Structure 1
Amino acid sequence: MNAIRVSLLIGLMGLFGSCASHLDQLPTVESTSESVYTSVENYKAVLAKLYASYAIGGNEKGDGNPDMASPTAAYGYLRSYFNLQEIPTDELVYSWAGGDNLVDIQYMRWGASDTWVSAMYYRLYYTIAICNELLRNATDDRIGRFAEAEQQEIRVFAAEARFLRALAYSHAMDLFGHVPFVTENDQVGAFFPPRITRGELFDYIESELKTIETILPEPFQNEYGRASRAAAWTLLAKNYLNAQVYTGIERNADCIEYCNKVIGSGFSLEADYRKLFNADNDRRTQNEIIFPIQSDAARTTTWGGMTYLVNAPILGSMHAPDYGVVSGWQSFRTLREFVALFPDATGEVDRRGAFWTDGQTLDVEDPSSTSQGYTIIKYTNLYDDGSYMTDDGLVNTDFPLFRLADVLLMYAEATVRGGAGGNTTTALGYVNQLRERAYGNTSGNIGASALTLDFLLAERGRELFWECVRRTDLIRFGRFTGGDYLWQWKGGTVSGTATDARFDLYPIPVTDLAANPNLIQHVGY
């Protein structure tokens, strides 16, 4: 990447200006690295683009002037990630699968030429590439011309870039397994990146996160939307919880250790579950949200990201302004197996499970019928006072990629799995804190005998649905592929059918296999 877009740098400097989500976008101007990395402000602007790469797919309104040529990749990282993590699970059925090329994702029968698989893969490596570019320009030699205080500030920026790269590589490890590996130490230009195994990548990510955890600011000491040590700790805990899948070796004790770091750092549960997912959720900086992907109706102008997640579930007789937007997309519905996780469908018992049933059937006999399958609203564009501001349906709601509730449930699961250092009484207390918030009282509390792995998988579904964790959770519990757990339309049949274990990983896209002789396709593809 010898040339970088100044608009992606200077135009995004508002990102870190306040607690509002500012991601300004200006017309594109080409410039070289030599002319851009000349001030701390410009380094910060480059860093803003790294964060923005998770939120937006282009540089003009509605993903115009896209980062990537593919129509699906132009929808951005978050939309691609959500589709691969949620649509093939028991939490979601998609109305327009045919028109959006999501039939094979919905039915768990994708191949190496799938457009959404490729979109996610190349979004990952786009983010990795721009992180590498900042890091090439943040070496001691490159920043030696700055004053010492400025050098220290740039070193923090570099630690954040390493975190963002580790996050993208963690998603690559989870989704694709053995993948190409490129860092800032590799040459710029045409070369064939080597293949790194899943286990080797796990070790690399672990090393990176442990190296930067003391360079990143303490929790609550960075600007809103930027990574602190708590974000690195949370990512480590997530990877440790899934280490058996990634490496064949369980790391539950390490998961507990890093969960304890997050839990002990001052975060607290937000009292109102719904406020975690509304347009004012940027105010929950000490109430639960550890690391967000930011959204702003005036600046993060994407038809992917949170615009997608707010608009897509609104259908039928629902009134879109009640959720802070101008119209519903009638795209997302849920499946009966997900509804069955809750004590009832009204939300009167467990507030997290308030399904929209008016005009909807529970069973989905035809996935394309928008009247089949209940829907549920996770995200809204409403402010705390019920007002809203939108531009063509664009939203101001941030995506809570990491939050305390997940950490509490990870601690509980790692403890139940036998991780050293975990305490069952403490784990039970954490779970019951979440259930007291959901029920509004202690009527939903469980006893120690009910704290089982099956319960925790269900509770993660209730608490974390549509937060891009379900596929990973089901794989960790051995329920994603195979026939031990079936849901409607799993494998492409109305009652669900067993699927092949190869679908626990997405394939390397055929385009990259053809371009890079170092890569090997996964077995079965």
Structure 2
Amino acid sequence: MKKILISSLALASLLFLNSCTDLKEQVLDESSVTGLTDKQAADGNLAPVYAQLPTLFTHTNYFAAQEISTDEAILPYRGGTDWGDNGIYIALHQHTHTSTDPNLRSTWLLLTQGISRAITAISALPTNNDPNAKVYIAEARGMRAYYNMLLLDLFGVVFKKESPQAISEILRGEQAYEYVKTEFLAVEPDLLTTVGPGRLTKGGVWGLLARLYLNAAVYRDRYATSFTFKPEDMDKVVEYSDKIINAGQYQLSRDYFSVFNAENHDNKELVFAVDQRAELNGHNRLAYFSLSGDQFPLPAFTGANGTDGPGITPDFYRTWVNAYAPKDPAGTDPRFYKQNMNIPADSCVAAADFVYNRGILRGQQYGLIRVNGAFVRCGNNYKVGKLFNVTRNRPTTPVVFTEAINYTVAGSDYSTGYRVLKYEFSPKSQSGRNLGDVDIPIVRLADVYLMRAEAKLRKSNDAASALADVNLIRAARTNPAPALTSMSLDLLFRERGFELYWEMVRRTDMVRFGKYEGTWTEKTDTNPQKRIFPIPQTAIDGASNLPGYLVQNPSY
């Protein structure tokens, strides 16, 4: 008998949906398709709505758009051989990207596919008799709004569509913002509080609404000389932030880096996150992307290493140094660095004791010594010592991360730039790229406090309340950062960088704070029209049979 694979359930097997939902892959006979239970059918409808999130949050999609385009991250043409990619990362950082950029195209496709899958679920679920169907409809509709919110932020457009057969209405500006807001508000009453962080909950929508209201001035008038932050919008930011803070189910983590550990799914700081617990679904790209090709964090896997990708810019590093001078930020702010290896050179350590340092990595790097594809052993233990660029065929050149990084030959070498290991390197990753376990934060409690602080500053210059929120976050961590004594928008922008670096909010923050037309390492473009990205040319070409339907953004 011919067999078919129900694609939605296949995708479901890669997901996570916890609590009342356990989505499973099922291969079914044609004769048994109609024998699906209501629960199986409902689960199969909802699963694809979330399935795009892990891919969207890979290093070359949303991360590249939100980080490499900013003052936080720079990715040069490493050694003249790696990460050249026809100059796309250089162009993204310098704001000279075009409508043919493959990473922007991939991000666009993932977002529009997410919208399409949400619409399919919204259309199918109303006839389902499973008790969860009403909640699932709300989640699918809320996720459609979330994907549209990202499209609005990145590309300045929203797709309004209610049925799979309809042609989407394209909205921009005020109309687009109002549509996304209305959708979030409509689904909030039907969402649960108990199925996060990998599914959309009331808390997740409250956080997204706070973020939406906070950026409303940008979305209404993208190219404004200065943005008008309406008091009523700022009141809403405070209102929805308060809902999360007062809900009683979220709390700041004492250990800052535990928020980004492999086993972080139950971390109470997460409000809404990309769930990567299912091994076939997860990826380890945000951990491996910045590390050296000669950093091998796992004694169990000799092929799991870094890729010498982006470093942080000297400009961003200097914000830390200037904030704490003459003290080293590594000993002053627990978010900057966490030392897990107290290992002198040429040591022998047990596998269980070999744990990589986290945060911003500087200077000479130490790690497992690898010779001819195998780690050097000391009996049952492992040899640890200074690392050299062996994988780059430079066995006498040490892996010493430097502050300087740029597009010159010297500044583009393999060890230039301080590196970031914020997300824990998955203990299951055989290649360094696969099998991620870290749930990637979309909304977390610290960001909620910072959004509330910003809204109070923007509405009424309530510096005292804003300062209290910022210092609350600083005091919550083990070995807390020193309390600040004053607060301003510039200081708050700096604080958001300290708290949220590498979390894919930097570009959005820079636009809102009026910093995106600034200059930083290798970037001098001041064109305000670059506040949004070009619509991919392939999308415009695909809609060419509908003249005027999909219009390119200005300056592209």
Question: Is the TM-score greater than 0.5?
Answer: yes
Check conservation: 1:194, 1:519, Cα contact below 8 A.
Answer: no
- Residue matched to 1:298: 279
Distance 1:317 1:389, change over 3 A: closer
Secondary structure in 1 matching 2:272: strand
Taking structure 2 as the reference length, the TM-score comes to 0.76
Q: 2:540, 2:552 within 8 Å by CA — same for their partners in 1?
A: yes
Q: Which residue of 2 aligns with 1:427?
A: 466
Alignment pair present for 1:206 and 2:181: yes
Contact 1:55 1:78 in 2 (8 A): no
Q: Percent identity?
A: 28
> Which residue pairs with 2:450 in the alignment?
409
Matches within 5 A, 1:385-396: 388-393=427-432, 394=434, 395-396=436-437
Q: Distance in 1 between matches of 2:174 and 2:137?
A: 25
Query: Which deviations, in whole Å up to 9, do the C-alpha atoms of 1:439-474 show, x marking residues without a partner?
Result: 714x61012xx2100001010001001111000000
Corresponding residue SS for 1:479: coil
Q: Do 1:54 and 1:78's aligned partners in 2 also have CA atoms closer than 8 Å? A: no
Aligned to 1:121: 108
State whether structure 2 residue 510 is matched by structure 1 residue 474: yes
2:137 is aligned to 158
Corresponding position: 1:6 with 2:6: yes
**Post-superposition shift, 1:235?**
0.4
- Give the match for residue 62 of structure 1: none
Q: In the alignment, is residue 256 of structure 1 matched against residue 238 of structure 2?
A: yes
Q: Shift in Å at residue 293 of structure 1?
A: 0.3
Task: Report how many residues are paired.
Answer: 462
Residue deviations 1:191-250, cap 9 Å, x none?
A: 5x33211221111111111111110013xx225511110000100000100011011453
Partner residue of 1:53?
A: 52
Alpha carbons 1:323, 1:380 under 8 Å: kept: no
In 1, Cα distance between the equivalents of 2:142 and 2:60? 21
Residues 1-49 of structure 1, C-alpha deviations (whole Å, 9 max, x = no match) = xxx9624425525734658x9987788x9989x9598622221133122
1:347 aligned residue (327, 330, 346): 330
What one-letter code is carried by the residue in structure 2 that aligns with 1:458? R
- Cα RMSD of the aligned pairs, angstroms, is 3.0
SS, match of residue 254 in structure 2: coil
In 2, the alpha carbon distance for the partners of 1:370 and 1:309 equals 18
Q: Matches of 1:280 and 1:113 in 2, distance apart?
A: 38
Alignment correspondent of 1:452: 488
Shift in alpha-carbon separation, 1:102–1:14, aligned structure 2, 3 A: closer
* 2:259 aligned with 1:276: yes
Amino acid at match of 2:530: F
Q: Which one of 151, 155, 162 corresponds to residue 172 of structure 1?
A: 151
For 1:310, the aligned partner's letter is A
Shift of 1:76: 6.7
- Residue identity opposite 2:215 in structure 1: N
Q: Deviations over 1:129-183 (max 9, x none)?
A: 00000111123xx23xx3xxx2x4101001000111111000001011134x242
Letter of the 2:362 partner, please give it: T
SS in structure 2 at match of 1:195: strand
The farther-off stretch of 409-418 and 345-354 is: 345-354
Structure 1: distance between partners of 2:30 and 2:260: 38
Q: 1:471 to 1:323 in 2, by over 3 A?
A: farther
The amino acid of 1:446's aligned partner reads: L
In 1, the alpha carbon distance for the partners of 2:491 and 2:29 equals 54
Question: Which residue is equivalent to 2:214?
Answer: 241
Question: CA contact under 8 A between 1:36 and 1:42: conserved in structure 2?
Answer: no
Equivalent residue letter for 1:399: I
Q: Secondary structure at the match of 2:459?
A: coil
Deviates more, 1:306-315 or 1:338-347: 338-347
- Aligned-partner residue type, residue 474 of structure 2: R
SS at match of 1:225: coil
Aligned residue number for residue 65 of structure 2: 84
* Contact persistence 1:279–1:381 (CA under 8 A): yes
Contact 2:260 2:440 in 1 (8 A): yes
Q: Point out the more displaced range, 88-97 or 397-406.
A: 88-97
**CA deviation map 1:406-456 (0-9, x unaligned):** 00000001101115xx96444322211222245714x61012xx2100001
State whether structure 2 residue 198 is matched by structure 1 residue 225.
Answer: yes
Query: Could you list the per-position Cα deviations for residues 242-262 of structure 1 after superposition, in whole angstroms to 9, with x for gaps in the alignment?
Result: 011011453211111111111
CA contact (8 A) 2:45 2:125 kept: no
User: Is 2:9–2:24's contact at 8 Å kept on the other side of the alignment?
Assistant: no
The match for 2:314 among 318, 336, 352 is 336
Equivalent position amino acid for 2:204 in 1:
A
**8 A Cα contact 1:412 1:431, kept in partner:** yes
Match of 1:308 among 279, 285, 300: 285
- Give me the whole-angstrom Cα distance separating, in 1, the residues matched to 2:24 and 2:313: 38
**1:398 maps to which residue?**
439
Number of the residue aligned with 2:373 = none
Distance in 2 of aligned mates of 1:323 and 1:375: 23
Change (3 A) 1:510 1:319: closer
Match of 1:98 in 2: 84
Structure 1's unaligned 5+ residue stretches are: 57-74, 383-387, 491-496
- Tell me how far apart the structure 1 counterparts of residues 507 and 136 of structure 2 sit (CA, whole Å): 32
Kindly indicate whether residue 530 of structure 2 is the aligned counterpart of residue 503 of structure 1.
yes
- State the alpha-carbon separation in 2 of the partners of residues 30 and 427 from structure 1: 60
Deviation at 1:498, TM superposition (A): 3.2
Deviates most, 355-364 or 7-16 = 7-16
TM-score, structure 1 length as denominator?
A: 0.81
- Asked whether the 8 Å contact 1:47–1:157 carries over to 2, the reply is yes
Q: Is the contact made by 1:475 and 1:504 (CA closer than 8 Å) also made in structure 2?
A: yes
SS of structure 2 residue aligned to 1:373? coil
- Which one has a larger percent strand, Structure 1 or Structure 2? 2
Partners in 2 of 1:375 and 1:175 — Cα distance?
26
- Which of 97, 101, 113 pairs up with 1:110? 97
